Structure formats: structure tokens, C-alpha cells
Amino acid sequence: MNLEKMKESFNKWKSDYNKKKDASKLRQKKFMSVSSYEPEPLYTPLDLQDFDYFEKLGIPGDYPFTRGVHNTLYRERLWTMRQFAGFGTAKQSNERYKYLLKNGQTGLSVAFHLPTLMGLDSDNPLSRGEIGKDGVAIDTLADMETLFDGIPLDKVSTSMTINAPAAILLAMYIAVAKKHGVAPEKLSGTIQNDILKEYIAQKTFIFPPEPSIKLIVDTIEYCSKHLPAWNTISISGYHIREAGATALQELAFTLIDGRTYVEAAIARGLDVNEFAPRLSFFFNSHNDFFEEVAKFRAARRIWAKLMKEKFGASSQRAQLMRFHTQTAGCSLTANQIENNIVRVTIQALAAVMGGTQSLHTNSMDEALALPTEKAVRIALRTQQIIANESGAANVIDPLGGSYYVEKLTDEMERGVMDYFDRIDRMGGVLSAIDKGFFQSEISDAAFRHQREIEKNERIVVGVNSYCDGNGEKGGGDILKIDEKVEREQVAALTALKKKRDNDKVKSSLERLKNDARSGANVMYALIDCVEAYASLGEMCDVFREVYGVYEEPPMF
Amino acid sequence: MSEKIKVLIAKPGLDGHDRGAKVVARAFRDAGFEVIYTGLRQTPEQIVNAAIEEDVDAIGVSILSGAHNHCFSEIMNLLKHNSIDDIMVFGGGIIPDDDVAYLKSIGVAEVFGPGTPTDDTVKFVKANVRKGNE
């Protein structure tokens, strides 16, 4: 490469470009990414002059894993196609899971209804109107038995989106498996178990941050002894992005949350080389293709460096970041809903180009309601088309070496480090949550994004442009949850609470309280409780009593 | 109208999706309204009590959990029960069309779905507030 020649031709190009720009010949005044980042119009070798291949990229499967976590990537095994699903009663969701598995899905992903996420039973007055609405209603082990009826838990991996009460749902899963005759060490799957992003963005918190982190470390410790193939946490940027964060904020806040969990586990005395291989991540994939690919690549590099340099992780498994991706729910429009199929395709392709380990593609109708079966099938087929027809899965990290993508990957890394410094100066993640730092960064970005759309600085097809009066409004079939679900769920719970051995329930809850008070690992007591058919709400009440509850100061 | 219009942005339901509520609250503030945001997971009783205490002109209810029919009808009943007819109730969130028709039939002034420009919501409230519920 003759750099002098490159500089000369670049400068000539730049002056021609600027002439057109100054003469207002460009289509827009500003060209920006979904995250309001303004890229240069052209990237060249001049942007990568000091680029050290082995320092920045390495070979796929080798430190710093920028190019991917496997040396064969999708040539050996495709990503896991994992559609998040759950609604109504356990029986209805069980049928949806069987349908998805029959259609070629390779892993389950359970959505719980809001009362379960908030540690409330279906018969709690606060649960009224919410039963089975945006997830499946789980009150006791009996519901979990129905949910996984006829599903081979030794073969299928299950991801459960559960946070504040994650330890309880894990205990239930272990108990169901036991009834199926499947030993804990055979179980594979994930609990989301990431409470920090709840305070930051998703807001389904129950207890204060410190005891919540203690519960998480309990699950990490328990699984490292008994469930070696279980992902103990899915450190999530997804919800941070959905709440309005930029790609960079999503990445920075997620990684610093991850760092906080690693510090807590090390403080418990756990060995980083033992527990870190079971940490997993969960990212969003939005419309700006290159920005997303750069984000995924930077994520692996930053995490590997952090694990190796800061925490002294020596095994490769402890350094590499595995992640799940979901396409951006917040990018879906309620207008002209079929357009969402195209958005999801672009986003899913970015996730694959970014080397994801598993993927959920949203259904086109999710801006209106939970998806219909047909919409879910199209979403799954989208992944299958990318996997089998597009050629994207043939080559490892096919965008590696792109001047733009490498430059953007570097800038993501630098931006993350800047956020780390700012958050550390505030006293770390918990203190930044306390000060409302993340929350205000995110709501500023969300507001800016909305204003850009309203001022037509940002085009959203079918929303502020290209509205032709045909099909702007959704229409068509949507999935409705029958109000009967609420009555049935409450009746079943009431009957179960009468039928079970209530002395056993009482004594197991007593043990749970003692263990929670003493600071012992609560997993053992939780398994006792769930096997006695104590309800989720009863167990969470014990924790509420011992740990207290968290309330967020309202701000906007 | 010389006095500032006072709006309560309320977040019932168990979901924590506060992006929309916060964006709308800011848009009202920027448009010169006095805005109170309730914070998350308020029961209909808490919302109506706050509206009465703060003497607001309108309640904007944001809900994405699917419990909208229950939450809105409780709010409307409580307002009626307290003989309040000068507080306008409007809403937003993930609310299917069929349910929008139902919500309007019980007195909800308007429901703004995803993609609504905040200016539309602000203009609507400006034009329709302090008229009394029909």
C-alpha cells in the first residue's frame, strides 16, 4: 500500500465531496445512524494506519475473539433459533412450545407474565388484569410441570426470562427435571438473572440492589457445583436499548453490569476460571446494520480484555463472550406492519454477521399485541432463510477488515472505556443507579430519537414518510388472551393451596427465612419450598420481609 | 386560558416500560404544561387520588402490559364515584383497536398508539381539556 498515493487521492476526493456538500447537493444535511452517530462518508486504509491485526482481531476462536468465539463458527453448527414465547396458561404455552419445536426451532425461551416477574401470585389483587397477558402464568411447581410436559429436558435447552425471582424459577426447573428423571448436571439453558439492567431500564425489580446481587451470586455458586452446563446469567443490553439507549450506551452499560457481577462472584471467593464460562450476554439488534455488527465485535473484544487483564482469567472459556440476540422490538411500527418483516431481516442478518450464538426474530405484529402463530412462523422462517439461502453463514466474520466496520468497532471500544471512566468516577454501577445516571442518559436519548422522527430528520417508513393511506393501521388478526385464563389460573391456585401439605409449606418457608437471614446460599431452601408446592408469591414474601423492597424515584 | 394546564402522566399495570410515558411527559413539559409523573406500578386508586390531590386537568395513562381494560375501567369508575367530571383521561401504549373502541365507550377521550407524534397528543389535550366529560 502506497500511503502517500492514498492520501493524495483521498484529499482530492474529499475536496470534490466538500464542494458538493457546500453547494447543498447532498440529499440530507445530516447522515446519522439509528444512534444519532454521524459516520464519515468514506473510510479508507488511512483510517486503519496503526491497525495491528493480532491485537485487534486475532483468529476466530482465539483471544481477543473479535472475529468470533469458534474456529468454525456457523460451518460446524448454526446459531440456536430461539423464539421467546409464553402466554396464557402453562397448558397453552406448552402447546406453543411443542409447535415451535416441531417447526425446527432448536431451543425454548420462556416468557413469564408480569405477576411472576414481580414475584406476585395470580390471586394477588395487584395481578388483576395481568394474568397470562404478556407471558405464561406460573405460580407453583404444578404450573411448571404442565409447562414442560412432554418436553425432553435433557435434549432441549431452555432460556427463562426471569430476574428478581430467578433463583425460584431455577429451583422449579430443577424440580421438574427431577420428576422427569433428568439429573441437574444434564440440564442446559439460561436464566436471565440480570438485576442491574432492571434498575437501569426494564424496571421489573423487587428487592434492593445489594440483596438482589447476593441472590445472583447464590445461583452462580449453586450452578457451578450442580448444573455445570447451565448459563447462570444473561447480562442484558436488550432492555437498555429498548428503553431508548444508543448502541454505544447499550454496550457500555451491559459490559459494566457484567464487570459488577464478576466482582461480586470473586468477592464470594469463586474462581473466575470456573464461573466465568457460564456467564452469557444478550444484545439487541437494531436497523443500522454496520453499527450493530461493530457493536457485537467490540463486545467480544472488550470483554475478553477485561476478563484477562483485569480479572486474570487464564482459560479461554472464561475470556470469551457468548451472546444471544433479539431483533429490536422498539423498531417495529404499528403502521404498515408487514414492513416489519423487512426490518427484522436486516437486524437478524446483522446479528449473524456479528457472530451471535442464538437469535430471536420478532414477529411483525408485535407492535400491536403478542404474535399470532402465523407471524411467529414467518419470523422463524426469516432466520432459516438467512441460514440456508443467503450465504451469510458460509464465511466467518465476513465484514472483518472492512475499513468502516473496523473503525466503528474501535470507536465503540473507545466510547465504552469513556463510559467506564465516568461511571467509576461516580463510584460504580450501584452508585450511578442511585444517582439516576443511566436512567437520565437513556431517557435523553429516547427523547432525542423521538424528536428526530417528529422533525423529519429521521425517516421511518410508513410512519412519517411513505404513508399512502393503504394499510397504515395494523388490522388483521391479533392474538387475544381470553379473560377466562384469569379465572382458571386463580381457581387452580386456590385449589392447590388447599390440597398441598401446608405444614410442610410452612416449615420450608421458615427454613428459607432463616437461610436468607443468616446469609446462607438460599438455593437449597428454595428447592425444598418449591417441592412442597410453596408459591412464588410466598417465597418472594419471605425475601421482601428479609431484604426489603426497592422503589424508584419517579423522574423524567 | 392563562393558567398552565396540569397533566398527570400515570403508569398503572405491572410492566416497567416507561419509555413512552417519559417521552410524552417531556413533550408536555416542553409545550408549557405542568407535568406530574406518578412513577411505576400505580394502582388505579393511587392514580385517581394523585389526580385529585394535585387538581390536574388531565390524566395520561400509559400501559403496555395488556391490563388496559381493567386499569382504565377502574380509573373511570373511581372518577365517577368521586363525582369528578372535569378531568380528561387519555391513554397510550400497546392497545388493540377493538379495545380502543371499548375504552372510548367508557369515557376515555383518546388512545394514542405507537408511532403517534407527541405533538398530536399535546395538541389534542390542549384542544379538549377543561370541557367536562360527556
Report yes or no on A24 lying in a domain. Answer: no
What is the DSSP-derived secondary structure letter of residue A396? S
| Residue B63 contacts residue B16 (beta carbons within 8 Å) | no
Burial A530-543 (b: 16+ CB within 10 A, else e): bbbbbbbbbbbbbb
Report yes or no on A315 lying in a domain. Answer: yes
Q: Do B114 and A450 touch (CB under 8 A)?
A: no
Report yes or no on A41 lying in a domain. Answer: no
Instruction: Say how far apart CA A434 and CA A472 lie, in whole Å.
Output: 42
Instruction: Say how far apart CA A268 and CA A467 lie, in whole Å.
Output: 57
Rounded to the nearest angstrom, the minimum Cα separation between A256 and chain B is 22
Residues A532 and A403 in one domain: no
Burial A226-253 (b: 16+ CB within 10 A, else e): ebeebbbbbbbbbbbbbbbbbbbbbbbb
What CATH number does the domain containing A279 carry?
3.20.20.240
Confidence of residue B134 (pLDDT cuts 50, 70, 90): very low
Q: Do A334 and B113 touch (CB under 8 A)?
A: yes
Identify the residue among B7, B8, B9, B22 best suited for mutation to test binding to A, counting A beta carbons within 10 A and taking the highest: B22
Identify the residue among A112, A122, A134 best suited for mutation to test binding to B, counting B beta carbons within 10 A and taking the highest: A134
Residues A500 and A357 in one domain: no
Amino acid at A34: V
Residue A503 domain boundaries: 495-547
Point out the residue among B17, B18, B94 whose CB comes nearest to the CB of A368.
B94
Burial A192-215 (b: 16+ CB within 10 A, else e): bbbbbbbbbbbbbbbbbbebbbbb
ipTM for the predicted complex: 0.84
As a whole number of Å, the end-to-end CA separation of chain B is 21
Residues A513 and A374 in one domain: no
Report yes or no on A26 lying in a domain. Answer: no
Q: What separation in angstroms does the CA of A306 have from each of A61, A221, A309, A318?
A: 17, 21, 5, 11
A325 burial level (CB within 10 Å; 0-12, 13-18, 19+): buried
User: Taking Cα atoms as reference points, which of A263, A298, A295, A294 lies closest to residue A279?
Assistant: A263
Q: What separation in angstroms does the CA of A219 have from each of A174, A175, A181, A272, A338?
A: 12, 15, 22, 15, 41
Instruction: Say how far apart CA A142 and CA A154 lie, in whole Å.
Output: 20
Q: Among A426, A454, A482, which residue terminates a domain?
A: A454
Provide the pLDDT for residue A429.
98
Number of compact structural domains in chain A: 2
User: How many other CB atoms are found less than 10 A from the CB of residue A401?
Assistant: 13
Provide the pLDDT for residue A473.
67
| Residue B72 contacts residue B52 (beta carbons within 8 Å) | no
Question: In sequence order, which ranges of A289-402 are alpha helices (DSSP H)?
Answer: 289-305, 316-319, 339-353, 373-389
Residues A200 and A281 in one domain: yes
Residue position matching grid coordinates 408487514: A338
Q: What would the grid cell of residue A212 be?
A: 438482589
Residue position matching grid coordinates 419509555: B19
What is the DSSP-derived secondary structure letter of residue B13? S
Q: Classify B20 as helix, strand or coil.
A: helix
- Sorted by sequence, the CB contacts under 8 Å of residue A275 that are 6+ apart come out as A220, A221, A224, A232, A265
Rounded to the nearest angstrom, the minimum Cα separation between A367 and chain B is 7
Residues A241 and A305 in one domain: yes
B 61-90 near A (Cβ less than 8 A): 65-71
Question: In sequence order, which ranges of A81-165 are alpha helices (DSSP H)?
Answer: 90-102, 114-117, 141-147
User: Taking Cα atoms as reference points, which of A388, A389, A381, A392 lies closest to residue A349?
Assistant: A392
Rounded to the nearest angstrom, the minimum Cα separation between A469 and chain B is 15
Point out the residue among A443, A463, A474 whose CB comes nearest to the CB of B22.
A443
Q: What separation in angstroms does the CA of A1 have from each of A6, A44, A45, A407?
A: 8, 11, 9, 18
Report yes or no on A502 lying in a domain. Answer: yes
Residues A401 and A543 in one domain: no
Name the CA radius of gyration of chain B, rounded.
Answer: 13
User: How many other CB atoms are found less than 10 A from the CB of residue A173?
Assistant: 26
Q: Do B14 and A453 touch (CB under 8 A)?
A: no
Q: Do B16 and A115 touch (CB under 8 A)?
A: no
Report yes or no on A215 lying in a domain. Answer: yes
Strand partners, B92: B62, B112
Residues A280 and A404 in one domain: yes
Residues A62 and A206 in one domain: yes
Report yes or no on A510 lying in a domain. Answer: yes
Report yes or no on A220 lying in a domain. Answer: yes
Instruction: Say how far apart CA A412 and CA A294 lie, in whole Å.
Output: 7
Provide the pLDDT for residue A16.
97
Residues A343 and A215 in one domain: yes
Q: Do A443 and B26 touch (CB under 8 A)?
A: yes
**pLDDT of residue B132 exceeding 80:** no
- Sorted by sequence, the CB contacts under 8 Å of residue A348 that are 6+ apart come out as A285, A327, A359, A361, A382, A383, A386
| A454 interaction partners in chain B (CB closer than 8 Å) | 117-119
Provide the pLDDT for residue A475.
59
Point out the residue among B18, B35, B96 whose CB comes nearest to the CB of A368.
B96
Residues A502 and A449 in one domain: no
Q: How many CA atoms lie within 13 A of A279 on its CB side?
A: 30
Rounded to the nearest angstrom, the minimum Cα separation between A49 and chain B is 41
> How does pLDDT run along chain A (556 residues), one tens digit per residue?
799 999 999 999 999 999 999 999 999 989 999 999 999 999 999 999 999 999 999 999 999 999 999 999 999 999 999 888 888 999 999 999 999 899 888 789 999 999 999 999 999 999 999 999 989 999 999 999 999 999 999 999 999 999 999 999 999 999 999 999 999 999 999 999 999 999 999 999 999 999 999 999 999 999 999 999 999 999 999 999 999 999 999 999 999 999 999 999 999 999 999 999 999 999 999 999 999 999 999 999 999 999 999 999 999 999 999 999 999 999 999 999 999 999 999 999 999 999 999 999 999 999 888 899 899 999 999 999 999 999 999 999 999 999 999 999 999 999 999 999 999 999 999 999 999 999 999 999 999 999 999 999 999 999 999 998 766 665 577 888 888 999 999 999 999 999 999 999 999 999 999 999 999 999 999 999 999 999 999 999 999 999 999 998 888 8
Residues A366 and A295 in one domain: yes
Q: Domains in chain B, ordered, with CATH?
A: 6-128 (3.40.50.280)
Question: Chain A contact for B114, CB < 8 A?
Answer: yes
Provide the pLDDT for residue B133.
47
Provide the pLDDT for residue A474.
58
Residues A429 and A520 in one domain: no
DSSP string, A290-318: HHHHHHHHHHHHHHHHIIIIIT---SHHH
Q: Do A134 and B15 touch (CB under 8 A)?
A: yes
